[in-house]
Amino acid sequence: MRIFITDLKGRTATTTDGEILGRIDNAVINLDNGSLMHLLIEPDKNLNKKKFEVDSKGRIVVPFKSFKSVKDVVVLELKE
């Protein structure tokens, strides 16, 4: 499957349990090998961000390996 980050930007990101994380803002790419490392998510106003790593702009940093599916929303499987 091929998808562009511009296709993901602005989509709602949820956990497999249905918790809304927020909207995808950007991604972090490893320039050495071209792999997608993290998704950066603008957190939902009701989300408790203390459970997550955040960047200097307050976006949630989610490892790309958590990525599960893309439909109307992007589903991420998060391990606690």
Q: What was the pLDDT predicted at 1? A: 60
Q: Which domains does the chain have, with CATH numbers?
A: 5-76 (2.30.30.240)
Question: What are the residues facing 42 on neighbouring strands?
Answer: 23
pLDDT digits (tens, 9 = 90+) for 30-64: 999 988 899 999 999 999 888 899 999 999 999 88
Distance CA 52, CA 67 (A): 15
Residue 21 amino acid letter = L
29-38: per-residue pLDDT in tens? 999 998 889 9
Closest CA to 49 of 20, 11, 73, 12: 20
